A and B are shown apart, each in its own frame.
Chain A
Amino acid sequence: MTPILRNILVVARRDFLAIVATPAFLLFLLAPLFMVGMGLAGGVGASQLADSARGAERIVAIVDPADVEALRAADRRLRDAFRGPDAPPLLEVRLAGPTMIDPRTVAREKGADTYAVMSGPLVAPHIVERNADGLSGRYLALLASEALRDRAAGPVAPIAPRFESLRSGGASIAAQQSMGFGAVFVIFLLTLLLAGQTVSSLAEEKGNKVIEILAAAVPLETVFLGKLLGFLGVAVLFIAFWLAMAFGAGLVAATQFDPASLAAAGKAGKAADALASMPATGWPFFLGIGFAYFILSFLLLGAVFLGIGAQAATVREIQMLSLPITIFQVGMFSLSAAAAGAPDSGLARFAQIFPFSSPLAMAARAATDGDKAVHLLALGWQALWVALVIWIAVRLFRAGVLSGGGNWKFWARGNRA
């Protein structure tokens, strides 16, 4: 182990134990019980996002030019029969050309939420559908049948549709955007709860004069990073505790309730829809990268707060700093949430690149965009900024020291030597 890493871990270990081995930590650990209201607010936000994406839903028919009018007429006539939640998505008609269009490709097109795609002759259409239990594919088959019947002006033989279920890549955009927003919200909430503590972290050392011992013994960069890692350890412990609680609650529920009713309950609601859908990068990657982005978000914002807090001379100043810090966090959340709602917009690109919103926005991107390599780049970019912020914070801290420190008793020049 290198001396620098060892020093970082020594400081981190001290801070971690100093926080965890206190009765106050229990209160801290249980505080999320009071945060249920915020969770509900997050759920409402995700729901609104899902609703906003509803306009992009569609079914697609790729047909000969001769069938277009008949198909549209059938759609106009039949659509009136399906209202409310059973209403089929808007019909988009495309002309079949000399080159074959792969319906699976159409189903996976970005920018729209495609439920089913019909191609081939109307008497034997090939229907690719995302949900085998859904109505969209059958509606397209019904349209084909009606269009043939209109043209024949009499009884026709039943059509022979061939259904194909689209297993992957066809997740609902609305659900994916909801997942993206959920990732943004969860990371924001955890960062808000946990990273803000770092602002007062150095106050302890400045108050009890330990900072001079630390500054003499190890590079200040290792002190700052060690403190961040100590607080990160607390955060991870916090998350692990609540995950374990949730898992335990799930196990208890499984043993206390009828499995059939649980399954029925699980299938109901928008949340269940979202869970049934797949993030663009897949669940394992999405969860893993989400955790990685939480760590980077924590380190980035924590480093900023630590640096700001290090400049504060009194507890009162630290308290005063809490408001702008919270506003800054909410600002990053708002930016990233907007980016989650418009994944391909310039705003989203900005949020993904701007270092302090990047972890949130990139987590949202992992839900809607299947490109995985870009996340490695993003993690590297964010880690670079963590190092940069710590470097600047230490320079500012030392500059305060070198300039005599004004009202810092430790560094003050009056009757010092």
Chain B
Amino acid sequence: MIGDQLLNDFSVEATGLTKYFGDFKAVDAVSLAVPTGSIYGVLGPNGAGKTTSLRMTLGIIDPDEGTSRLLGGLKPQNVRSRIGYLPEERGLYPGMKAREAIAFMGALRGLDWSEGRRRAAAFMSELGLERVIDEKIRKMSKGMAQMVQLIGSIVHAPDLIVLDEPFSGLDPVNQERLEMIVRREQMRGATILFSTHVMAHAERLCDRIAIIARSARRFEGSVDEARALLPMQVRYTPREAGDAAAIAACLPSGAERRGDAWHFAIEDKDVEPLLARITASGHGVSGLSISRPALHDAFVHIVRQVDAGFDADATEDAIEEASA
């Protein structure tokens, strides 16, 4: 995890990024501030605007509004050699050998060819890919090629690594390897910004996250802060089944019985009063778990809220249109 002293030092400062594709507003005033040395996740459902936001952040496409400054307030075009980028749509020259492909990607960022080849071999050996070092890309599996491209995006030891959906298409073993690489790059001092819609990776890796839905940023903060958006979930199993109505009376409203257990949500401040009521009720405690919701739940909650707002707006518009 990053130290507090780094929180005021941002490797990515994107402000108000907006992009139209025709009449469609693909990205609506998205801002990102990625602390130096952190692992930062951009989460969102398919089509939310993650990839377009990252492309604008890196200067690959120009925003219609907003600015992006990287690595100390510099324009993206001026710090290309200090950035590593794995695009969502994987791309390699099929006729190139893996080692050459990695060295080529390093050379594009200013790394010497021979050093690039040496590092390529070292990386591939470390990831168990030594037998395909001199294999052509077209002969490799999709997952292998993806790992080659990942190595190519970090072979020049960049200060900022941007990975767009890096886990998609990888088997669990390679996903774990990728997580290891991301953590190691952070230890080296790099800042990592990646997008995903798989919450488990973000939950394990990210220091901070931004959730983008319907083209706009809907949340920014730590994983814990995201999870805290929802009340804690309680699963209570009384020792004595007894009178269900009596048990329900000492639990918060909305408690739902599933088999022997009761499920309900409570606010942080209500934990101690709940425990006191259960103890006083005499029904006993056979099982009790109080836990924060997972990031997955928080994400779904946020996205559904946004969708509900859009649906309500659409309904209003339809009514207005009909009445007009």
User: Which residues of A approach B to under 8 Å, CB–CB?
Assistant: 3, 6-7, 10-11, 14, 18, 22, 204-205, 208-219, 398, 401-404, 409-411, 413-417
Q: With A213-B91, A401-B60, A413-B22 given, name 4 new contacts (CB 8 A).
A: A6-B110, A213-B152, A218-B108, A416-B51
Partner of B87, one of A212, A398, A409: A212
The 7 closest A-B pairs by CB, nearest first: A209-B91, A404-B21, A413-B21, A417-B51, A217-B108, A210-B91, A212-B87
Which residues of chain B come closer than 8 Å to A217, judged between CB atoms?
80, 85, 105, 108-109
A219 CA to B109 CA in the complex, in Å? 11
B277, CB-defined interface residue at 8 Å: no
Q: Is the interface of A mostly helix, strand, loop or mixed?
A: helix
**What are 30 A-B contacts defined by CB distance under 8 Å?**
A3-B81, A6-B110, A10-B104, A14-B93, A18-B95, A204-B93, A210-B92, A210-B93, A212-B87, A213-B108, A214-B108, A217-B80, A217-B85, A217-B108, A217-B109, A218-B80, A401-B61, A402-B61, A404-B22, A410-B89, A413-B21, A414-B47, A415-B47, A416-B47, A416-B88, A417-B26, A417-B47, A417-B49, A417-B50, A417-B52
Considering the complex, give the chain B residue whose CB is closest to the CB of A218: B108
The total of Cβ contacts below 8 Å across the A-B interface reads 91
The smallest beta-carbon distance between A215 and chain B, in angstroms, is 5
Provided the pairs A404-B21, A416-B51 are in contact, do residues A216 and B46 lie with their beta carbons within 8 angstroms? Answer: no
Decide if A209 touches B61 in the complex (CB within 8 Å). no
Decide if A413 touches B24 in the complex (CB within 8 Å). yes
Decide if A216 touches B87 in the complex (CB within 8 Å). yes
Considering the complex, give the chain A residue whose CB is closest to the CB of B91: A209
B94, CB-defined interface residue at 8 Å: yes
The smallest beta-carbon distance between B84 and chain A, in angstroms, is 9
B48, CB-defined interface residue at 8 Å: yes
The smallest beta-carbon distance between A362 and chain B, in angstroms, is 36
User: Which residues of B approach A to under 8 Å, CB–CB?
Assistant: 21-22, 24, 26-27, 44, 46-53, 58, 60-62, 77, 80-81, 83, 85, 87-96, 104-105, 107-110, 152, 212
The smallest beta-carbon distance between A76 and chain B, in angstroms, is 76
A22 CA to B60 CA in the complex, in Å? 32
Decide if A216 touches B80 in the complex (CB within 8 Å). yes
Which residues of chain A come closer than 8 Å to B50, judged between CB atoms?
417
Provided the pairs A216-B80, A217-B105, A217-B109 are in contact, do residues A417 and B89 lie with their beta carbons within 8 angstroms? Answer: no
Decide if B108 touches A417 in the complex (CB within 8 Å). no
A412 CA to B88 CA in the complex, in Å? 13
Considering the complex, give the chain A residue whose CB is closest to the CB of B137: A208
Considering the complex, give the chain A residue whose CB is closest to the CB of B64: A402
The smallest beta-carbon distance between B46 and chain A, in angstroms, is 6
Partner of B85, one of A6, A213, A403: A213
The smallest beta-carbon distance between A226 and chain B, in angstroms, is 10
Decide if B92 touches A216 in the complex (CB within 8 Å). no
A220 CA to B80 CA in the complex, in Å? 12
Which residues of chain A come closer than 8 Å to B94, judged between CB atoms?
208
The smallest beta-carbon distance between A404 and chain B, in angstroms, is 4
Provided the pairs A213-B87, A216-B58, A404-B21 are in contact, do residues A14 and B52 lie with their beta carbons within 8 angstroms? Answer: no
The smallest beta-carbon distance between A402 and chain B, in angstroms, is 6
Which residues of chain A come closer than 8 Å to B105, judged between CB atoms?
213, 217
A56 CA to B254 CA in the complex, in Å? 109
The smallest beta-carbon distance between B252 and chain A, in angstroms, is 39
The smallest beta-carbon distance between A38 and chain B, in angstroms, is 31
Which residues of chain B come closer than 8 Å to A209, judged between CB atoms?
87, 89-91
Which residues of chain B come closer than 8 Å to A218, judged between CB atoms?
80, 108
Considering the complex, give the chain B residue whose CB is closest to the CB of A415: B47
Decide if B60 touches A216 in the complex (CB within 8 Å). yes
Decide if B61 touches A417 in the complex (CB within 8 Å). no
Decide if B81 touches A212 in the complex (CB within 8 Å). no
The smallest beta-carbon distance between B240 and chain A, in angstroms, is 53
Which residues of chain A come closer than 8 Å to B46, judged between CB atoms?
415, 417
The smallest beta-carbon distance between B95 and chain A, in angstroms, is 6
The smallest beta-carbon distance between B163 and chain A, in angstroms, is 12
Decide if B44 touches A417 in the complex (CB within 8 Å). yes
Provided the pairs A208-B94, A217-B109 are in contact, do residues A417 and B48 lie with their beta carbons within 8 angstroms? Answer: yes
Which residues of chain B come closer than 8 Å to A398, judged between CB atoms?
62
The smallest beta-carbon distance between B62 and chain A, in angstroms, is 6
Provided the pairs A218-B108, A413-B21 are in contact, do residues A402 and B89 lie with their beta carbons within 8 angstroms? Answer: no
Decide if A212 touches B89 in the complex (CB within 8 Å). yes
A304 CA to B21 CA in the complex, in Å? 27
A172 CA to B24 CA in the complex, in Å? 69
Which residues of chain A come closer than 8 Å to B87, judged between CB atoms?
209, 212-213, 216
The smallest beta-carbon distance between B152 and chain A, in angstroms, is 8
The smallest beta-carbon distance between A7 and chain B, in angstroms, is 7
A204 CA to B61 CA in the complex, in Å? 20
Decide if A212 touches B108 in the complex (CB within 8 Å). no
Considering the complex, give the chain A residue whose CB is closest to the CB of B195: A417
Decide if B92 touches A10 in the complex (CB within 8 Å). no
Which residues of chain A come closer than 8 Å to B110, judged between CB atoms?
3, 6
Decide if B85 touches A216 in the complex (CB within 8 Å). yes
A340 CA to B52 CA in the complex, in Å? 53
Decide if A416 touches B80 in the complex (CB within 8 Å). no
